[in-house]
Structure 1
Amino acid sequence: MGTSASSRGPGSGPDVPIVPPWVDNPPATPRPQQPPQVSPGPAPSPGSQPTSPGQPQPQPSQHQPLQVPLQLPAIPSTPGRWRGVRTSLGKFAGGGADRARHLRRGLSHYSRSGMGGSRNAARRMGGSASAASSLHDALTSLASGQPLPPELGIDPLALAGLTPADIADVLVDAIKPIDGTQDAEATRDSAARALSDILTQNNDLTNLSPAQVDQVTAATLGYDVAHRIELDVGRSIIDKAPTKGEGLERLQEMKDYVREVVAAQYAAERAANGAIGRAVIDRISRDAIQQAFEVFEEEGGL
């Protein structure tokens, strides 16, 4: 992004929330549950329908998925939330044998104090998870020949004759329309980069394998988390490096590391969930982001 390196990042204090009220709230879709255990029940009442032995009884309504998203309050920040982050990342930018340790400590500070913990970080990045799962849904539909999700507003016939790059642009516009916000621009750039990565391998966006669709999804998440960190505290690296060129190298080193961690966590979450679908991938994406920030906290040694 053209504005990332020049961004001074957000301030701190109660008037600058960690998680603004306009951030997407996590969907209320429950996690998969084990099938209910069948146990002998009371004898059926007169007039009721008999059931065969071993047939599960109807489950109460509380087991049905919730349809209304959770409405969570904004999370206020505290003064000095970026102090530890900027100090550690400044030392990382300065180079030296300990720069890897300073990077890990900086990211740990970012998650713990800057974001108020991995759960808040995942909630702050909820829009990234939503966009990534939407892209996963679209690419899966194209590969299987199924109708595209109607909410994307894409006419499959309109894709015929387009170049791969044009198809990528259509997908980016559909999953994250331009709205003038920094978050939207970051997510659009992240999705575009992920699609560009898969195109450089001479792949057809309308016929990707499930593994390739997951690759795009994980890359979208990784680019977006790295963008968020860069926008918030990336300037600390640029300003503290001996030269601007070295600062840009250190910044890229940080972003590459973040993307690797996010990709690893997405792969782990994906492997633990065999089913696919928009709701499942959305949950996997959110969990992968939270797990990545937990890794940052643990590796920082704070």
Structure 2
Amino acid sequence: MGTSSAFGGQGGGTPLVPSWLGNEGSPPAAPDGATPPNGGGAPPAQPPARPPAPPERPPVPPTADPTRFSAARGNFSRFAGSGGDDRKALGRAVSHYVGSSSGGARTAAARMGSARGAGSRLLGFLSDAARRGATEALRALNLGALAGRPIEEIFLGLADYVCPDGGTIDEGIAREAFVETIADLAGAGITDLDSLTPDQMQTVFELYATNAIEARLCNDIGLKAVSLPSDSRQAARVQAQLNDFIRRAVADALTTARAAVAALTPDRVLAFVGGIYEQAFGILQIMGDAEAEGA
């Protein structure tokens, strides 16, 4: 939730998944030429050429419901206002966010945008480091000078590769989630890239995906509009519970795909990461419904 504080929140009228790409209109076919009759002679006069039609503008995505985050925001405010005690409100907030506000798990995953690309680059690097060693993986990125440095320094050096800072909110979310992941490494017991195990590789990606989803959710519902506890300990408890809730969903999604992680190839990483986000959002909705019902 520290990530989202840098952003003002998602505008209600913003399309769920903006898409400004479309097929350009094709110019009209040239008129058929006439074949001169036998015996020669000038061909019949051609009709005046028509100017090519201008390309068709891609359709503008329909404006989304400006109130679509209201239910998620209201329930999260109740959860936060309870100091983390009202778990049913947390469940309703998460369930509404995935199902109603985002349009389902697939659309929610598609809205991760830059975080999908950043997650795939991070996972690709970690796979390469586990396979060939950290030194060779860093050399491949022209970062060989970082070899042997503390893992936090290595990851800070990887920031521009994993999540280039392009200035948009989406890119900012991806980058801040990566910075938070670096801060989480020591607490997860990950201190040496040279001896990275498959379980630790999965943990690093799990931390990143969790931070990215949390940041996306908090930015969308507009955390600044949510009433947080004034007590810093209660606020920290609220944050920790949300992070743990999301991480459980990400961990479950990764567990079901454990075999696929070991067999990842560079050309399949992006699709794999997108699939993990989609599964995680689907699990989050199920968990939210169960929590809301007091199960």
Establish whether TM, by shorter chain, passes 0.5.
yes
Structure 1 residues 8 and 267, CA gap change in structure 2 (3 angstroms)? same
What are the Cα deviations for residues 136-190 of structure 1, in whole angstroms up to 9, with x where unaligned?
211222333375499xx72143224544322111112211112122222222232
Aligned to 2:200, which of 188, 196, 212? 212
SS of equivalent residue, structure 1 residue 215: helix
Question: For 1:212 and 1:300, how far apart are their aligned partners in 2?
Answer: 28
State the 1:297 CA deviation: 2.4
Q: Which runs of 5+ in 2 are unaligned?
A: 22-57
Aligned to 2:242, which of 246, 249, 254? 254
Structure 1 residues 22 and 192, CA gap change in structure 2 (3 angstroms)? farther
Identity of aligned residues (%): 29
Q: Which amino acid aligns with 1:173?
A: D
Structure 1 residues 272 and 11, CA gap change in structure 2 (3 angstroms)? same
Question: Paired residue for 1:288?
Answer: 276
Retained in 2: the 8 A contact 1:8–1:233? no
Retained in 2: the 8 A contact 1:221–1:285? no
State the 1:127 CA deviation: 2.4
Question: For 1:75 and 1:130, how far apart are their aligned partners in 2?
Answer: 26
Counterpart mapping for 1:1-302 below 5 A = 4-5=4-5, 7-13=7-13, 16-21=14-19, 76-95=63-82, 99-145=86-132, 148=137, 154-160=141-147, 162-200=149-187, 201=189, 203-233=191-221, 235=223, 238-239=226-227, 241-243=228-230, 245=232, 246-271=234-259, 274-301=262-289
Retained in 1: the 8 A contact 2:114–2:163? no
Q: Which amino acid aligns with 1:91?
A: R
Q: If the length of structure 1 is used for normalisation, what is the TM-score?
A: 0.70
Q: Which runs of 5+ in 1 are unaligned?
A: 24-70
Query: Which structure would you say has the larger Rg?
Result: 2
Superposition RMSD in Å:
3.3
Retained in 1: the 8 A contact 2:84–2:237? no
Structure 1 residues 156 and 82, CA gap change in structure 2 (3 angstroms)? closer
Retained in 1: the 8 A contact 2:207–2:247? yes
Question: For 1:273 and 1:214, how far apart are their aligned partners in 2?
Answer: 8
Number of residue pairs matched by the alignment: 250
Retained in 1: the 8 A contact 2:253–2:283? no
SS of equivalent residue, structure 2 residue 19: coil
Question: For 1:20 and 1:164, how far apart are their aligned partners in 2?
Answer: 37
Structure 1 residues 75 and 121, CA gap change in structure 2 (3 angstroms)? farther
Q: If the length of structure 2 is used for normalisation, what is the TM-score?
A: 0.72
Q: Which amino acid aligns with 1:292?
A: A
Question: For 2:172 and 2:124, how far apart are their aligned partners in 1?
Answer: 21
